[in-house]
Structure 1
C-alpha cells in the first residue's frame, strides 16, 4: 500500500500545475539557505536563551529519528522508550518532559501538543514533520514571551515550512531494513508557488524478538503567493504510521537469560497513528494571522508491568485518542514614538478548540480488548489575549513588558457519571525583561516571567478512581510556573557566537494525569535552576565547532513522609559537541558527540542510571546533480540505555507484589545508512 502512495506522490510532483498569477502581487521569495547560528541576534533577541536554527544546519547533522530535530535546541534531549511511531521522550531544564508537558511546539502555526491526550498530557509527536522541508526553527527557553501560553514553562519551538525547495528524490538504505524515500519539488506560475513532497519510511530495528515494522507515510502540499501587502500560504499535511514496539524491559529478565538486551517480554505491543491537517496563514509588516484544522487518531498498546495487576491475562492495555482540533491566531504589530523612546507593540488573540470524540483506556491481551477502564468524550476550548511592548530607552538599553490572559473551558462526558462534568479556569501571566548592549559585540539580559500548563481535563472532574473505585479529589485545571534568568551574549559574525544563561524556575505542582492508569498522580511543588552555555566557533570557511552545555539542579519543595526531594528522571548534565569540515571541493564531514549525565530514578536518589555517551558521524559528497551521503550512528556501539525507569513489575512465578527493578530501553546499536539523492 505504501508504494502505491509513493507512485501517486511522484506522479503529482512531475505533473504540471496550472496557477493563475496575480499581476498586483510582489515576487515570491526564493528558497534561501539559512544559517541560524550565524544570525546576529544582538539588539533583536530579548533573552540569551533564544535563537534560530537554519535549514542548512539541519541538513548538516545525522539524525537517528525525526524527533531528534528538537535537539538543535541547546540543552534539549530526545530519547525513546518504545516504538518509533510513538512520540519521543523529551528532557530540558531539569524537566522529564514526558512527551511534551512543559515544552510547546508549533509547526506552521499549528500546535503539536495534545491536551487531555490518551497517552499523556501535552503529547508531542513530530513524526509528521519532514526535516528537509523545515525552513528554520525559532526557539525560546523560559516563559518570557507573551505569545507563548500553555505548555511553555520550559520553552517553545516554532517550525517554519519552506515555500520553495529544490526538486529532487532521495533514497536512503540502512541496516536493520531501514528504507526511506523522499520525493519533493515545486512548480511556479507567475507569483504563485506549489510545493509537493512525499516521504516513505520502513524500519525493523535491531530488536531480537520482534521486527518493529515501521510503515510511515508523509505527504505535504503547500500553495504560497504574495497577496495584497503580505504573503499567503495554504498547507495540507497527511501522516500515517503503524509499528510494533520494543518497550523498556526489566534488568532481571536480561540477567536471568529470559531475553537479551534487545529482547521483548510482550511482542504484541505497538501502535498506529495518523494526522491530517490544513492550515492557512498570511503575514505582512503590520498584521499576521493563521488558522488550522487538525484530525488525529492514535491506538497504542503497551505493557510495562507484565503480570503485576492481572496474573492471568497480563497487564497489556490500549490507549485510544481520536479528535479534531480547530484554532487560529491574529496579531497586530506597529511602532510609534513615545516622547524620546521608540516603542514596538504586538497585540494578539489565540483560539483553540479540541473536540475529542474518544479518549479511552482499555485492558487488552494480544491487542484485543478485554474490558474498559474508562472511556470519555471531551470538549476543551481556550481563548487568550496577549500584548507585548518593547521600548528602546536609549542606544544601549531596551525593556519589554508582556501581559497575557488565558481562559479555559472543559466538558467531560465519561462512562462513569461521577467522573463527568465541566470546569472553567483562567490565568493571567506577566512577563518582563531588560537588555543592555554594553559593547559592539556584547549584550546582557535580565528576564522574568510567569507561565503555566494545563492539566488533563479528566483530572479536573474525576472523583472516583476507575481502577480501585476509591474516592479521589479533582485537580486544578491550570498550574502556575514562575521563572527568571540572567543572560549574556557575544556575537562576531566572522568567528564566534556564544550565549550563556543562569536561570531558575518554580512550578506550583508536578501533578500529572496518568494515562496508563486513568487517574491522577499526586505531585508536589518544585524548584529548578541551572546554567546553560552555547558556543559556536568558525575557525575558517572550512572548519566549525559547536559546544552546548547545560547543568541543572532539580528538587521537589516541601517535605512529604516516605518521599525524598529528588525529581525522577531529571538530567543534571547535558553536553553536546559537533565538528564540521566543509572542503573547498564539494564534500563535507561531520562528527557529533552527545553526553547525558547520570539521571536520578527515584526521589531519594538511591537509584541512578549510568551516564550515556553517543557519537555520530556523517559524510557527504556532491557531484553535479547527485549527492552521496553516509551516516554512521552510535559509532562506538555504546551499550548504554536510551532511557531508564525504576518501578515494580512482575514476571511469571514472581511474588504477587512484584519486584522493584530498573527498566531500560537500550540505545540502538551501531548502524550505517547510505543516501543517494538526485536534484532535477
Structure 2
C-alpha cells in the first residue's frame, strides 16, 4: 500500500480548484424558500437540478456514508458485497453499477475512476464523513457545458464545511460489533479557518462471516474567505480493510446449504486507500469571476471476490482485482458579466485536465487471497482534456437561455505487463467529442405560483475502459475480441417545471428521454461490466417539498422510467437491472428544542434481471428512523441519537441479479456441470441487513 506522505511534496504544485457554483446572473426577484432544494425561482437552468443543505442532510438516518446520495430525488443506493466496496447506484433507468454514468466530486476532486480494476467509473464514497458535508448540489442529464465524463444520468458536487458551528466528539455503538468514533474541530487563525477531523470505524455486520470492517479517515482543510472570494487547501487520508459476503445463489439459501446471511466462499474482501491533496481558489468582481482547482490523489485497491462460487472446482473461483494509481488534474473557469438588467449575459469559459497514471491494474486467479495465475496485468496512462463555453442570458423578466458547447479529448496508452494471452492487447487509442448543450427557461410567473417552465437538450458521454478499447484477444482464452470505443455518446432531452404555489410548498416535475450509443451491463457470473448495444430511456420525475409547520418539513419523490435496447440482445430488449419505479418520502423535524429527528421511507420497484423480462426482482419498502435529544450540562452541550435502520425488519434483497454460479454442494455433486467449468443460471441475491439500532452520543464544547 502506498504511504500518504509520499504525495506531500506535490502540494506546492497545486493551483486551486473550481467547482460548479457560478456567480448568479442578475436576479429577477428575491424570493425566500422555506422548504425545498435550496434553489430559488430564477436560479435554476433545469427542472431536475437542486441543492441539499447540511441541515436537511443531518436529519437523514444513514446505514452507510453513500446513503447521503439518496437525497438526490430518484437515486437509490444499495450494496451487493462488503461495506468497504463502492455501493451500487440506480437513477433514471440506469443501473449505475458502481458509478458508470453518474459523476461525483468532493471539493473539486473527482470520485469516479477510469479504467478501474473492478468497473469503469468506480465511485467509492466510503471515505465521506457525513457530519462534515456542507451541501450537495446535483444535476441530471447532459445539459450543462461544464459536466464531462460519466455525467450522463447525472452528477453531484459535494462540499465540506469551512468551519464547524462547534468542535465535537461523537461515539456510535450498534449490534454486530459496530463502533464509530469521530473527533472534529475547527480553529480560527486571523482570517483563516482550519478544519480537522478523525474518524475510526469498526463493524462486523449481521453476516455469518464477520465483516471485520476497519476504517480510518482523516481530514485537514485550511480555508480563507468565502467560496466566491477565497481559497481552501485540503488533505484527506482514508484507508479500509474488510471481509465481504458477496451475492449468492438464492437456491443455496432456500435449500438450507447456507443461512440468509451466509457466505459461499469465505475469504472474500479487500483493502483500499485514498490519499489526496486539493486546492480551490475563487475571486469575483462586478465584471466577472474566476475559479481554479487542482488535485492529486494516490489510490489503491485489492479486491477479492467469488461471484460465481465453485464453477471451476472445489477450490473456488476467487479472483483478485488490483488497482494502483496516482491521478492529478485541475481546471480553470473564467466568467464575464456582459451588460446589465435585461439582456445581461454571463459568458463562461472553462478548461479541465486530468491524467491517471495507473502503474498496475490487473485480474488474478486466487485461492484464499493467494495469487495462483495472472489473467491480465497492465500499465495505463490515460489523459482527458476538456474545453467548455457557455452563455447564460436574461432576455426578459420571463425568458432566460443557456447555450453551451463542450469539446473533450481522451487518449490512453495501455502497456501489457503479464498474462498468458495478454501480450497483444496493448496500444494507443484516442477519441474526441463536441457536445452542444441548450436550455430555455420561461418564467417565473408570479400569477402561477412562481412557476418556471424548462426545455433542455444536450449531448454528453461516458468513457469505456481503455483496456477494452485496445484488446484484440480475450485474456481468458486467447480468442479474438472486438475493441470497444473509448468514448460512448449520449443524447438527452427534458421538459419540466418548477413552482412554488405557496411560500411553504415547492414542486418540481420533469419528463425526459435519453439515447445511449452503448450500454454497460453488469454480468453476474463474471463480476464485471461489459458494453452492449445502443439503448433508449424515457421517464418522469415528480418531487415535492413542504414546510408543514415551523421546524417540520415533508418531502416526497416519485421517479418512473423505462429502459430498452434498440436491438434485441440475448432474445430480448429489456435492460437488466434498470429500476422502473422508485418512491421516497420523509419527515424531518427540529424546532430548536431538545427533540429532533427524521423518518424516511423508500420503495425500490421490481426490475428485470435479464433481457427477456421473464425474471423480475421483487420490489420492497425500506424504512429508517432517527430520534435525537439535546441537553446541556454546565458549559458542555450533549446530543444523544438513536437510528433505527430497516425500521420494519423487511426480509427483502438489497440487490438481485441473474447469472451463473455454483454452490459448494453443487460442485461436490457435479450437478449441471458445476465443478468442471459449467454454471447454473439463477437468481443471485444480497439480503438487506435486518433491523439495526445504532446509538450515538455527541459532546460539543
Tell me what 2:483 maps to. Answer: 474
Q: CA deviation at 1:585?
A: 2.8
1:655 counterpart = 2:665:
no
Is the partner of 1:284 in helix, strand or coil? strand
Matches for 1:513-592 after TM superposition, within 5 Å? 521-560=530-569, 562-583=570-591, 585-592=593-600
Q: CA deviation at 1:302?
A: 0.3
- Check whether the contact 1:105–1:157 (CA below 8 A) recurs between aligned residues: yes
Matches for 1:326-365 after TM superposition, within 5 Å? 326-337=328-339, 341-365=343-367
Tell me what 2:10 maps to. Answer: none
Tell me what 2:383 maps to. Answer: 381
Is the partner of 1:539 in helix, strand or coil? strand
Distance in 2 separating the partners of 1:141 and 1:511: 18
**5+ long unaligned stretches in structure 2:** 5-32
Distance in 2 separating the partners of 1:677 and 1:270: 31
- Check whether the contact 2:296–2:328 (CA below 8 A) recurs between aligned residues: yes
- Check whether the contact 2:34–2:547 (CA below 8 A) recurs between aligned residues: no
1:206 counterpart = 2:206:
yes
> Normalized against structure 1, the TM-score is what?
0.92
Q: CA deviation at 1:655?
A: 2.0
Q: CA deviation at 1:518?
A: 10
Distance in 1 separating the partners of 2:618 and 2:275: 40
1:664 counterpart = 2:685:
yes
**For structure 1, which segment, 66-75 or 652-661, has the greater mean C-alpha deviation from structure 2 after superposition?**
652-661
- Check whether the contact 1:459–1:519 (CA below 8 A) recurs between aligned residues: no
Tell me what 1:294 maps to. Answer: 297
1:303 counterpart = 2:306:
yes
Is the partner of 2:483 in helix, strand or coil? coil
Q: CA deviation at 1:307?
A: 1.8
- Check whether the contact 1:403–1:428 (CA below 8 A) recurs between aligned residues: yes
Distance in 2 separating the partners of 1:514 and 1:462: 19
> Normalized against structure 2, the TM-score is what?
0.90
Tell me what 1:395 maps to. Answer: 397
Distance in 2 separating the partners of 1:273 and 1:402: 38
Is the partner of 2:90 in helix, strand or coil? strand
Tell me what 1:27 maps to. Answer: none
Distance in 1 separating the partners of 2:527 and 2:423: 15
Q: CA deviation at 1:457?
A: 0.3
1:270 counterpart = 2:269:
yes
Is the partner of 1:419 in helix, strand or coil? coil
1:620 counterpart = 2:628:
yes
- Check whether the contact 1:467–1:517 (CA below 8 A) recurs between aligned residues: no
Tell me what 1:18 maps to. Answer: none
Matches for 1:2-41 after TM superposition, within 5 Å? 37=36, 39-41=38-40
Tell me what 2:16 maps to. Answer: none
Deviations 1:515-543 (A, max 9, x none): 98599835110010000011011111032
Distance in 2 separating the partners of 1:358 and 1:114: 14
Change in 2 beyond 3 A, CA 1:584/1:370: closer
Distance in 2 separating the partners of 1:127 and 1:326: 20
Q: CA deviation at 1:226?
A: 3.2
Q: CA deviation at 1:484?
A: 0.6
- Check whether the contact 2:308–2:524 (CA below 8 A) recurs between aligned residues: no
Tell me what 2:619 maps to. Answer: 611
Q: CA deviation at 1:343?
A: 0.7
Q: CA deviation at 1:582?
A: 3.0
Matches for 1:419-458 after TM superposition, within 5 Å? 419-440=425-446, 441-458=450-467
CA-based RMSD of the aligned residues comes to 1.9
1:94 counterpart = 2:93:
yes
**5+ long unaligned stretches in structure 1:** 6-33
- Check whether the contact 1:374–1:518 (CA below 8 A) recurs between aligned residues: no
Change in 2 beyond 3 A, CA 1:229/1:658: closer
Distance in 1 separating the partners of 2:695 and 2:547: 28
- Check whether the contact 1:106–1:157 (CA below 8 A) recurs between aligned residues: yes
**For structure 1, which segment, 623-632 or 77-86, has the greater mean C-alpha deviation from structure 2 after superposition?**
623-632
Q: CA deviation at 1:339?
A: 11
Is the partner of 2:66 in helix, strand or coil? helix
Q: CA deviation at 1:417?
A: 2.6
1:368 counterpart = 2:405:
no
**For structure 1, which segment, 68-77 or 551-560, has the greater mean C-alpha deviation from structure 2 after superposition?**
551-560
Change in 2 beyond 3 A, CA 1:487/1:598: same
Q: CA deviation at 1:393?
A: 1.2
1:503 counterpart = 2:507:
no
Distance in 1 separating the partners of 2:271 and 2:332: 34
Distance in 2 separating the partners of 1:599 and 1:515: 15
Distance in 2 separating the partners of 1:36 and 1:249: 43
1 or 2 for the larger relative contact order (CA 8 Å, sep ≥6)? 2
> Given the alignment, which residue of 595, 598, 606 partners 1:598?
606
Distance in 2 separating the partners of 1:37 and 1:623: 29
Change in 2 beyond 3 A, CA 1:516/1:133: farther
Distance in 2 separating the partners of 1:228 and 1:127: 25
Change in 2 beyond 3 A, CA 1:583/1:125: same
- Check whether the contact 1:100–1:123 (CA below 8 A) recurs between aligned residues: yes
Tell me what 2:20 maps to. Answer: none
Q: CA deviation at 1:544?
A: 1.7
Change in 2 beyond 3 A, CA 1:515/1:546: closer
- Check whether the contact 1:386–1:402 (CA below 8 A) recurs between aligned residues: yes
Distance in 1 separating the partners of 2:426 and 2:616: 40
Change in 2 beyond 3 A, CA 1:341/1:542: closer
Tell me what 2:138 maps to. Answer: 139
Tell me what 1:322 maps to. Answer: 324
Deviations 1:118-154 (A, max 9, x none): 0000000011111111110110001100000100010
Change in 2 beyond 3 A, CA 1:499/1:649: same
Would you say how many aligned residue pairs link Structure 1 and Structure 2?
A: 645
Q: CA deviation at 1:344?
A: 0.8
Deviations 1:405-428 (A, max 9, x none): 000110000133310101111111
